[in-house]
Amino acid sequence: MVGIMADMNDARAALRQYFGYDGFRPGQEPLIDAILQGRDALGVMPTGAGKSICYQIPAVLMHGVTIVISPLVSLMADQVAGLEGNGIHAVCVNSTQTPEEQSLALAEARSGRCKVMYVAPERLDTQRFVEFASSLDIALVAIDEAHCVSQWGQDFRPAYLGIGDFLNRLPDRPVVAAFTATATERVRRDIVNLVGLHDPQISVTGFDRTNLYFDVIKAVPTVKRQWIERYVTARPDESGIIYCATRKETESLAADLRAHGAKAVCYHAGMPPEDRHAAQRAFVNDEAPVVVATNAFGMGIDKSNVRYVIHHNMPDSIEAYYQEAGRAGRDGLASRCTLLWSDGDIATRRRFIEMENGNERLTDEEAQAVRNRHRVLLDGMIGYCRTTSCLHQYITSYFGETGTVKCSGCSNCDGEFETIDVTDIARAVSRCVHDVNQRLGAGKIVQVLRGSDAQEMHDWRHLDSVPTYGMLRDVPAARVRDVISQMTSDGYLAVAEGKYAVVVFGPRAAETVAPDFTMTIKQVSRPAADDGADG
Ligand code: ADP
């Protein structure tokens, strides 16, 4: 780009002038700096951390218009209004507008008066828009919710796959900056590859929510219920969300809580819309401070004083868990996120995955790949339930933040669990993975180690030459499986996707043969139903 490039001093001045803020937050500076220097960027920050400013400041400082690709058509008008309120001229183009409104918005962008233009990804596919964009002086293309490009994320949106093509069709490739709140290592790789980011500045920050206390309790269903009843009724003045796996469960638990005197409503997608809205209103207004809901609840609900989020069942991924648990403590005050889980939850989740047929248009192989992805996500969640290390640390590492966090409160660091030594089992697993040349799935490895008599074991020609066959004959299958899943989340093992999910060595595999290697897993968690209620 010609002309004098803006630098971070200009950026700070713009931050004050347009937004009235005195300084940048941790992750913002490196991203803005990179963009201003003409380098692509990838910003990974949780919702509310301030991603928008990372493209809005460059937008006002750079020559030309910034195109923001956003999947949230319903929020575009709000975003435009927000920018206009700060004195930044912005428009949006989307299918909810009349053709006249659309033409008007496009004309504003072409005139050079407008600095920011929001569009939905579907529009990029049309020849008309490509031609229009080719005639513009584009400073920057910012991609909001960039994880939608990845089938590894939760919100895959096929139109996002067209972004790379769109960029390639432009006569001059602009600077490209992608933003997302939820990105594991794998999703990040997809964003870089599928959008085609060039050597981007990557910044992952802000995932730790220091005002949240994380709590994991293993308990059977009846104990879970008692625990929740005690916890909720002990805090009549606090607002909380309780997530359940099924609609039926939300109804019966809400009824139970009401019978115990709590002001609780229930919410799920099967309720008539007017009942749902009424429940939501009652919750937001604190008439019913407790809501018992399925995961249908939460999107777009802005309630800052939620003091606790309890999960009655284990969600299917850390992404889902953190999004739901993260609805606690938006006001920054101390709040608690408790996950209750049981072996039954794992079995149920696994069964769901096995039953998934996904989209009918998928080939068998593709459907298998989808199932494998879901298995990996689930393993991350199981790892959270089983880990004996800091839960804050587990979450931030999961999202790719490097470095250690100082625990601001979790049940693991408070030592509320017992561990058992599984070093020998882990060593045997590791050896077995080696024996079978990293070619078998977890289920088969368990069978080999336990000396299974299944016919397929005998059909397997080299069984005699597998030294670990039958080595863990006396260990329950569930325990071996637990150890494999813990080893996977700790990085000793990994799961390779393909037609079948196969257990392979992870980056830390070599540690398992070191003489001082030890491994523990959680045995039983602390007795539930009691003093969680004092926390
Ligand atoms: P995200 O897109 O990551 O969800 P937003 O960009 O909407 O987050 O920012 C969340 C809030 O934080 C907004 O009210 C925004 O104005 C504010 N914010 C962003 N950056 C800063 C900053 N450097 N200092 C103070 N407030 C900021």
Average pLDDT, the chain: 90
Q: Ligand 1: which atom is nearest the Cα of residue 181?
A: 3
The answer on pLDDT for 353 being more than 80 is: yes
**Given this model, what pLDDT does residue 230 score?**
95
Closest C-alpha to ligand 1, atom 5 = 50
| 444-475 pLDDT, tens digit each | 999 999 998 887 776 666 677 789 999 999 99
Closest C-alpha to ligand 1, atom 17 = 50
The two structure tokens encoding residue 526: 């602390």
Q: What is the mean pLDDT of residues 214-242?
A: 95
The answer on pLDDT for 38 being more than 60 is: yes
Q: What is the mean pLDDT of residues 335-348?
A: 93
Closest C-alpha to ligand 1, atom 24 = 21
Q: Ligand 1: which atom is nearest the Cα of residue 28?
A: 23
Q: What percent of the chain has pLDDT over 70?
A: 94
CB 295 within 8 A of CB 325: no
Cα–Cα distance measured from residue 46 to residue 49, given in angstroms and rounded to the nearest whole number? 6
Q: Binning pLDDT at 50, 70 and 90, where does residue 524 land?
A: low
> Ligand 1: which of 18, 31, 52 to mutate, most ligand atoms within 8 Å of CB?
52
Give the residue among 99, 72, 51, 110 at the shortest CA–CA distance from 91.
110
| Residue predicted with more confidence, 359 or 384 | 384
Ligand 1 pocket, CB under 6 A: 19, 21, 24-25, 28, 45, 47-53
In the reported structure, the alpha carbon of residue 88 is separated from the centroid of ligand 1 by a whole-number distance in angstroms of 16
Cα–Cα distance measured from residue 450 to residue 471, given in angstroms and rounded to the nearest whole number? 6
Q: Is the dihedral of CA 42, 45, 47, 51 positive or negative?
A: negative
Beta-strand (E) ranges in 333-437? 335-341, 417-421
> Ligand 1: which of 31, 32, 53 to mutate, most ligand atoms within 8 Å of CB?
53
Closest C-alpha to ligand 1, atom 9 = 50
Q: What is the mean pLDDT of residues 130-149?
A: 95
**Given this model, what pLDDT does residue 46 score?**
84
| Residue predicted with more confidence, 361 or 2 | 361
The answer on pLDDT for 24 being more than 90 is: yes
CB 480 within 8 A of CB 472: yes
Cα distances (angstroms) measured from residue 151 to each of 164, 188, 193, 494: 16, 11, 13, 19
In the reported structure, the alpha carbon of residue 57 is separated from the centroid of ligand 1 by a whole-number distance in angstroms of 12
Query: Any bridge partners for residue 243, and if so which?
Result: 293, 311
Q: What is the mean pLDDT of residues 384-406?
A: 89
Cα distances (angstroms) measured from residue 179 to each of 300, 322, 331, 494: 19, 18, 24, 27
The answer on pLDDT for 525 being more than 50 is: no
**Given this model, what pLDDT does residue 4 score?**
66
| 154-171 pLDDT, tens digit each | 688 999 999 999 999 999
**Given this model, what pLDDT does residue 529 score?**
42
The answer on pLDDT for 527 being more than 90 is: no
**Given this model, what pLDDT does residue 2 score?**
43
In the reported structure, the alpha carbon of residue 48 is separated from the centroid of ligand 1 by a whole-number distance in angstroms of 6
In the reported structure, the alpha carbon of residue 399 is separated from the centroid of ligand 1 by a whole-number distance in angstroms of 20
Does the global pTM surpass 0.95?
Answer: no
**Given this model, what pLDDT does residue 424 score?**
96
Query: Any bridge partners for residue 240, and if so which?
Result: 290, 308
The answer on pLDDT for 279 being more than 70 is: yes
CB 294 within 8 A of CB 243: yes
The answer on pLDDT for 526 being more than 60 is: no
| Residue predicted with more confidence, 403 or 327 | 327
Q: Binning pLDDT at 50, 70 and 90, where does residue 534 land?
A: very low
In the reported structure, the alpha carbon of residue 129 is separated from the centroid of ligand 1 by a whole-number distance in angstroms of 30
Q: Ligand 1: which atom is nearest the Cα of residue 25?
A: 23
In the reported structure, the alpha carbon of residue 52 is separated from the centroid of ligand 1 by a whole-number distance in angstroms of 7
Q: Ligand 1: which atom is nearest the Cα of residue 19?
A: 16
Closest C-alpha to ligand 1, atom 18 = 50
The answer on pLDDT for 388 being more than 90 is: no
| 66-105 pLDDT, tens digit each | 999 999 888 898 999 999 999 999 999 998 899 999 999 9
The answer on pLDDT for 530 being more than 70 is: no
In the reported structure, the alpha carbon of residue 85 is separated from the centroid of ligand 1 by a whole-number distance in angstroms of 15
In the reported structure, the alpha carbon of residue 23 is separated from the centroid of ligand 1 by a whole-number distance in angstroms of 11
**Given this model, what pLDDT does residue 18 score?**
96
